[in-house]
């Protein structure tokens, strides 16, 4: 990833956001000359609601910058108020229900779900540290602190997304 950011604007006392991510990628292969392309992924909408991502791929990096500059032009606010939420997932029963070789995969899924919910709803970005696998093995608790714009919205969205992998709502705790 080359660049990632989230910016805001205020409309009728409601924050709106624009999240974007710019990356580079090589394509081609042994028989083809390698070429580099650049991609931009972005998401816009009212903070606290999940919105669909859109993307573009260009061979010229300057084109990506032009797209990004147009996207973010109306978004002049760099930070909005955030509140800390302690997210705890009791994995003692859950880890018994899945094969041991899949434990790490599911733990990574929790981290990716927090990240997805924060970016796709505009309530935060890269604002938490995933706990170590070793600490989770010792305690069977996934625990981290997330800074979000709206605790209730975050909790609702996180629950809505994490229960699909088999974690029950009664295994989650938010403080």
Kindly report, residue by residue over 127-164, the tens digit of the pLDDT. Answer: 799 999 999 989 999 999 999 999 999 999 999 999 99
Rounded to an integer, what distance in angstroms lies between the CA atom of residue 69 and that of residue 115? 24
Q: Are strands 54-58 and 3-11 parallel, antiparallel or unpaired?
A: unpaired
Q: What's the order of all strands across the beta sheet hosting 3-11?
A: 3-11, 14-27, 35-46, 54-58
Rounded to an integer, what distance in angstroms lies between the CA atom of residue 9 and that of residue 51? 16
Alpha helices in 99-150 (DSSP H): 103-121, 133-139
State yes or no: pLDDT of 89 exceeds 80: yes
pLDDT of residue 70: 97
Average pLDDT over residues 12-32: 84
Rounded to an integer, what distance in angstroms lies between the CA atom of residue 167 and that of residue 161? 10
Tokens of 69: 């500059």
Q: Would you mind telling me the total number of residues written for the chain in this entry?
A: 175
Instruction: Identify the bridge partners of residue 143 per DSSP, sorted by sequence position.
Output: 88
pTM of the predicted model, to two decimals?
A: 0.89
């Amino acid at each position: 990833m080359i660049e990632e950011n989230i910016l805001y604007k205020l409309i009728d006392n409601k924050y709106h956001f624009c999240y974007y991510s710019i990356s580079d990628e090589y394509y081609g292969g042994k028989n083809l000359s390698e070429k580099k392309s650049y991609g931009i992924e972005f998401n816009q909408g009212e903070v606290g609601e999940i919105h669909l991502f859109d993307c573009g791929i260009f061979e010229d990096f300057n084109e990506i910058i032009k797209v990004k500059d147009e996207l973010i032009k109306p978004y002049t606010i760099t930070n909005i108020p955030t509140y800390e939420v302690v997210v705890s997932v009791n994995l003692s029963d859950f880890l018994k229900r899945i094969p041991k070789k899949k434990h790490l995969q599911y733990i990574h899924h929790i981290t990716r779900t927090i990240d997805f919910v924060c970016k796709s709803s505009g309530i935060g970005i890269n604002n938490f540290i995933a706990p170590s696998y070793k600490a989770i093995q010792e305690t069977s608790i996934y625990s981290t602190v997330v800074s979000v714009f709206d605790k209730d919205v975050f909790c609702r969205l996180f629950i809505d997304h994490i229960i699909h992998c088999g974690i029950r709502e009664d295994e989650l705790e938010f403080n």
